[in-house]
Amino acid sequence: MTVFKKAAVLLLVVATAACTNPDRFGGGADGSAGGANGAGLGAGAGAAGSASDPASPLFFNQTIGDRVLFAVDTSTITPEGQTILDGQAQWLLTNADYRAVIEGHADEQGTREYNLALGQRRANAVREYLVSRGVPSTRLQVTSFGKERPIAVCSEESCYAQNRRAVTVLSFSAVTS
């Protein structure tokens, strides 16, 4: 066998071994899905932790939506944002073992200080909306990244619009309400 063939076979063996590791998703010794954060990443339709499981964070992110967008220089929640936040509130009320950190973001226009303050106002607006829908305030934290973590990088309105957002990030925690 040539060196190239040996390397290719070794790479194939290593890649296959990584794909068949029963603990690859952080499951327990019993092979169950779901790591310490309880997020579970099982496969298949309706499997615990999948996007089709209404109690999973993947369902929250993909079906309900984990972010709301804002207009330029505002922290006012739009009607579309209210619809998303109503779904988030219902999910959080149904899944009481989760906490949320609401991250406020801004586009790249303006100073760093201004955008940090704007991101904070956006995160607080989302938090207040969720609390008004019955989510205990003790389960919600806010933080602002201002313009420091853009998801779209360009100097066009289409990018700016994506970066003016508040994102709800879930974490598993045995919470007593």
pLDDT tens digits along 39-58:
444 344 567 778 889 999 99
pTM passes above 0.85: no
In this structure, are residues 91 and 101 in contact, taking their beta carbons and an 8 Å threshold?
no
Domain boundaries, the chain: 57-172
Beta carbons within 8 Å of 30's beta carbon, 6+ residues apart: none
Give me the CATH topology for the region 57-172.
60s Ribosomal Protein L30; Chain: A; (3.30.1330)
Q: Which of 15-24, 40-49, 98-107 has the highest mean pLDDT?
A: 98-107
In this structure, are residues 98 and 57 in contact, taking their beta carbons and an 8 Å threshold?
yes
